[in-house]
Amino acid sequence: MVFPAAVVIPTWNRAHLIAKAVEAALAQSHPDRVIIVVDDGSTDGTRAALSPYLAHPDVVLVELAQNAGTAQAKNVGILLAAGRAVTFHDSDDLPHRDKVLRQALVMARGDVGADPCLNWALAGQTPGSTLRIGAVLHHHALILPDGRRVEITRELSLIDDMFPNLQMGSEVPGDWTHVNSGLFHPDLFARLGGFVDGIEEDREFRNRVILSGEIVWMIRDVLMTKIETADSLSQSRATGYDSDRRRRDRQEVWSRIDHWFATRQVQPVDIDLGDLGISRISNAGRVGLSDALATARSRETVRRAIARGMDNG
């Protein structure tokens, strides 16, 4: 068995990159995957760059009425991925062709048990029980703006929030695990919800997954190369680690960690799209409304967008 998957590609004004990202997703060896491209209100030539893929049976193009940010673009993708595990690829990611397949094969395993020597109570498991794997992560590589290639093979995560200078001797400081390209079980979104709106959405989501006791499996191979350019979200001056915006978002991350320490409870995040409009969904027959936690209004927004897409298809 191979767990069915959705590759969600959020994009904004990346007309020069998006076709390569779609081609890389289509080249994945996974036999049962759909590619959901969420155009986050682009104002460049993104629509024209995507037009050759509108008729492809495995590609769904979602156009948002206005720019809402990466977190909300991901949330729209989650709500459209009914019954499928979800992974997220950025426009400038270079995934190994077997990345999603290897993740999906791990997720479908039925022989992973709770070992008696470990404390599985946090995950609601008892020793000897079969585990549902909530997330499958992998190592990755970075191509830095100066051309260097470094591999990220760390597997601790929360340490980066508490002790950010722990590994200053390495080429990339800190100790963190990249979750954006992880594969996430649909039940995880039903239990924990989606992404908090903000530029620290990956960090907050990562912490919520770990603190909630979800079973996280790590594939110890580099299955993705990420290209860091001067205008990348993590590199730009507007959203850099010393920006006011990121500092405000980091306070939100810490407040949720403090809540967990005080209560040992994780706060789910209902997806709330607010007034966000969905202008179009192409190939709407390939998607469906998921069971992810969301406000009634957000679910209705997505349901109507799917229905319009079916009517126009």
At 234-243, the pLDDT tens digits run: 544 555 656 7
Q: Report yes or no: 279 and 65 within 8 Å, Cβ to Cβ.
A: yes
At 48-107, the pLDDT tens digits run: 999 999 999 999 999 999 999 999 999 999 999 999 999 999 988 999 999 999 999 999
Mean pLDDT value of segment 182-194: 97
Task: Report how far apart the first and last C-alpha atoms of the chain are (Å, whole number).
Answer: 31
- Rounded to two decimals, the pTM is 0.90
Please spell the DSSP secondary structure of 19-48, one letter per residue.
HHHHHHHHT---SSEEEEEEE-S--SSHHH
Q: Residue 59 is encoded by which pair of tokens?
A: 């590609």
Confidence of residue 130 (pLDDT cuts 50, 70, 90): confident
Share of the chain above pLDDT 70, in %: 85
Confidence of residue 119 (pLDDT cuts 50, 70, 90): low
Q: Residue 232 is encoded by which pair of tokens?
A: 């990348």
Q: Report yes or no: 90 and 21 within 8 Å, Cβ to Cβ.
A: yes
At 208-267, the pLDDT tens digits run: 998 888 888 999 999 999 887 665 555 445 556 567 777 787 888 888 888 888 998 899
Q: Report yes or no: 241 and 253 within 8 Å, Cβ to Cβ.
A: no
Looking at this protein, which amino acid is placed at residue 127?
Answer: P
Task: Give me the pLDDT at residue 83, please.
Answer: 95
